Amino acid sequence: MKKPASKKRSTPRQGRLPNDEIRPEYDFSNARPNPYAGRFGSGVTVVTLDADVAKMFPDAESVNDALRALAKIANRPPKKSSSRRRTA
């Protein structure tokens, strides 16, 4: 089933500037601000976890702690292997 064509405005929108880059077919007259946007500060990256992974972490702090520990392990220099073999 096709979606019905959106209503076209016969009159130009009020307050529209001549150099406005928004196309006339985009209608933001019913738009609302994102109510969740304030939760994320600047410099925050939002990542979606799979459900099975999310069950292991009760909050963002525990996810960050686990990732910091993993990063610490991953960034360790490799151990030098000894050329001598140990005997039991």
pLDDT at 70: 96
pLDDT at 13: 55
How is the chain split into domains, by residue range? 46-74
pLDDT at 5: 64
- Taking the whole predicted model, whether its pTM rises above 0.75 is answered as no
pLDDT at 67: 95
- For 14-61, what is each residue's pLDDT tens digit? 555 566 677 878 888 889 988 888 877 778 888 889 999 999 999 989
Measured between alpha carbons, how far is residue 72 from residues 7, 19, 27, 54 in Å?
56, 51, 48, 22
Question: How large is the average pLDDT for residues 55-72?
Answer: 94
